[in-house]
Structure 1
Amino acid sequence: MYKLRELEQKDLDTINKWRNNKELIDLLGAPYRFINYEVDVRWFEHYMKSRNESIRCAIVDDMNDKILGLISIVSINNLNQSGELHIMIGDCENQGKGIGTFAVKEMINHAFYNLNLHRIELTVLEDNVRAIHLYEKCGFKYEGRKRKAKYKNGKFVDMKMYAILREEI
């Protein structure tokens, strides 16, 4: 099946291809921009120096360690025991196979029971129905809307806000 492991430098080739895939980035809150490999190397180095503020995991096939996606909790705030969830399943042929459900549930458990977080939040593009279904299926509750919060493909779009609390799982 699948497993999570901490992101490794060997994953950067694949991640850089995903981050340069416009169709994939169009599903995410991040803007599309050209990202060269050296930018991702610096991104990874920054992560390694600031691991107390985030955790970044590769979602991999547990038989061959092939990277299928990324899942992260960033902006970890130890005082408020909170963090923000991000996920990306890299190749379209791996979407819709339960990989995201596995990864989100694993990361929620890790955040609540190993990192001692109490709240995990996220934002999602209002028209990303597949992601919204995933988050609701995993127990996230809708908390509101950020109106015209992201500029995507020439227009501003709304972001939906979701969160889950430790006592809700």
Structure 2
Amino acid sequence: MDITIRGREIDDAAACQRIHSYPEVYQWTLQLPFPTLDSWRKKFERQANDGAPGFVAEMDGQVVGEISLFINSNVRIRQTIGFGLVVDPNYGGRGVGQQLVAAAIDYAFNWFGATRLELEAFTDNQRAIRLYERMGFEQEGVRRRAALREGQYRDVTIMARLA
């Protein structure tokens, strides 16, 4: 099956809500469980108004992954762009995440003029960390007990790729 990467639309909110509703997805993000459709629509509208692009991956006409880029409003760090990535667990291991990250790298460096693309991942999310390392990201440090997950504060790894 072919993967198509395209710009995210407000109408993709329902698909992204579905993907973020899987426990095996939301446990690895900084999002709260059980997101509402309305909250996703508002989030996409806010990001669009802020000029923060997002992309989705489609297979057979169904959205199976999403990546959001985060643009800094502080002029002194505008060259740094962050991102968040999710893939439908039913489509894991098929290259969806890799293609979404490749699209983010291209967009950030070749269209936004970024010099740094960064992310945070839970330190025990080794599958994601391996993907990011394969895509040229390096681990820069650990924020200890930085994010709450299932009632416990967990360590988060900071990773970046420079242009």
Question: What TM-score do you get using the length of structure 1 for normalisation?
Answer: 0.87
Alignment of 1:14 onto 2:10 = no
Tell me, in whole angstroms, the C-alpha distance in 2 between the residues paired with 1:125 and 1:10. Answer: 29
Query: For residues 116-155 of structure 1, what are the structure 2 equivalents within 5 Å?
Result: 116-155=113-152
Structure 1 residue 161, shift from structure 2 partner: 0.6
The gaps in structure 2 that reach 5 residues or longer are: none
Residue by residue, what CA displacement relative to the aligned partner does 1:13-42 show, whole Å, maximum 9, x if unpaired? 1111222222210122x1433322221221
Residue 32 of structure 1 corresponds to: 32
Structure 1 residue 119, shift from structure 2 partner: 0.2
Query: For residues 82-93 of structure 1, what are the structure 2 equivalents within 5 Å?
Result: 82-90=80-88, 92-93=89-90
Tell me, in whole angstroms, the C-alpha distance in 2 between the residues paired with 1:25 and 1:65. Answer: 23
Residue by residue, what CA displacement relative to the aligned partner does 1:97-133 show, whole Å, maximum 9, x if unpaired? 1111122122102211111110001110011010000
The CA RMSD over aligned residues, in Å, is 1.6
Residue 49 of structure 1 corresponds to: 49
Residues 31 and 152, structure 1, Cα contact 8 Å, conserved in 2: no
Q: 1:37 to 1:31 in 2, by over 3 A?
A: closer
Amino acid at match of 1:106: A
Identity value in percent: 24
Structure 1 residue 79, shift from structure 2 partner: 4.4
Amino acid at match of 1:59: A
Amino acid at match of 1:70: E
Amino acid at match of 2:55: C
Structure 1 residue 65, shift from structure 2 partner: 3.5
Structure 1 residue 2, shift from structure 2 partner: 2.0
The gaps in structure 1 that reach 5 residues or longer are: none
Tell me, in whole angstroms, the C-alpha distance in 1 between the residues paired with 2:90 and 2:38. Answer: 27
Question: What TM-score do you get using the length of structure 2 for normalisation?
Answer: 0.90
